[in-house]
Amino acid sequence: MNFAKFALCFVLVVCFVGLSFGGKYFPNIEGYQTFVCDFHTHTVFSDGHVWPSVRVHEAKRESIDVIAITDHIEYLPHKNDLPKNLNRSYQIAKSAARKSSVLVVKGAEITRDTPPGHYNAIFINDVIQLDDPNFLTQIENANLQNGFVFWNHHTWQGKEKGMWSDLQTTMHKNGWLHGMEVANGGSYYPLAHKWCLEKKLTMLGNSDIHPPSIDHKYTPDKHRSLTLVFAKERTKESVRQALDAGRTAVWYKNKLIGKEEYLSRLFKQIVKVSDFKLENGSLTCKLTNSALIDLNMERKGKHGPEKLTIPARSSVEIKLDGSNLKYCVKNFLVNPKQSLLVEFSLKLEVVEDKKN
């Protein structure tokens, strides 16, 4: 039996899509570039601990493509040291970013008691117009500036205080609420994940960083909570379009969280199959993981190892004992209770060896 034709078919079906290149941590997906973003950061102009330019330098060092400066509007603990100037932190960060590849987005955090909670408005023009005593007026004014509004860490003060209410229904019905933080810092919010799917809201993961960032050497388990944005080009306009379309995934610890459509496309780009070998009648191949995330997989079909882990930026060799491999990628969450199901369909063809 000659396995040459079988091996060629397997490479074409599974691996050809794995040849694109992306950023430092994750590859591009078909039709889009993958950008790593943090849409929730603070500086000394609210309750952060660093000057705005430091946030840009941190992002550059950590290979983050886009950041939003989102200082609080209502909470200014350094007001005795710095004058109240709600647009100033963005202006300083934008100036610092001119000679770097980091894109800086203007934003602000609307900071109210919970409920209604905290909301970020990004891609706005003037933070001062959001400084209003009425909460819904603030949200409306953000939208009048074509801002993108998302609900932050909704259950940070307990599940009961972070429940969906008539207020969120009004915002959603008016088209004033566009997303939710599914992850914030070290916390994952499964209810926010569920609501984003049900209500067609964009999923985001952000650091909400206040102190200096010292974790510049990322590992699969240790990094900021971040948003992967699948955009057509490296511009703020394109990133905004992707957010409006919901083309995101959340990178939280050693997990990716998002819509099945995008997690599936990203997985196909992450995994590369190569090095087919036929020894003692057994066919093996190498699976390579190009991303900074361990792939923890569990078999759902009849073939392949029962448990399969491909460490970040590493390879494993597996024995091919069938033409169809089905796996559940345990740390790719398409909803709070379901992981991504992937299938390697092998076009097995037997070719007679004419020499025999």
- Over the Cα atoms of the chain, what is R_g? 23
Q: To 10 degrees, the CA torsion angle through 229, 234, 240, 244?
A: -50
Q: Looking up tokens 């987005």, which residue turns up? A: 105
Show Cβ contacts of residue 99 under 8 Å, excluding neighbours closer than 6 positions: none
267 found inside a domain: no
Gap between the Cα atoms of 353 and 66, Å rounded: 56
One domain for residues 81 and 110: yes
123 found inside a domain: yes
pTM (two decimals)? 0.92
92 found inside a domain: yes
**268 phi, psi to nearest 5 deg:** -60, -30
259 found inside a domain: no
356 found inside a domain: no
One domain for residues 196 and 334: no
CB 319 within 8 A of CB 282: yes
Q: Which amino acid is at 119?
A: Y
One domain for residues 226 and 311: no
pLDDT in tens, the chain (356 residues): 344 444 434 433 443 333 344 579 999 999 999 999 999 999 999 999 999 999 999 999 999 999 999 999 999 999 999 999 999 999 999 999 998 999 999 999 999 999 999 999 999 999 999 999 999 999 999 999 999 999 999 999 999 999 999 999 999 999 999 999 999 999 999 999 999 999 999 999 999 999 999 877 899 999 999 999 999 999 999 999 999 999 999 999 999 999 999 999 999 999 998 888 888 878 888 999 999 999 999 999 888 899 999 999 999 999 888 668 899 999 999 999 999 999 976 544 444 455 54
Supply the range of the domain harboring residue 315: 4-19+272-345
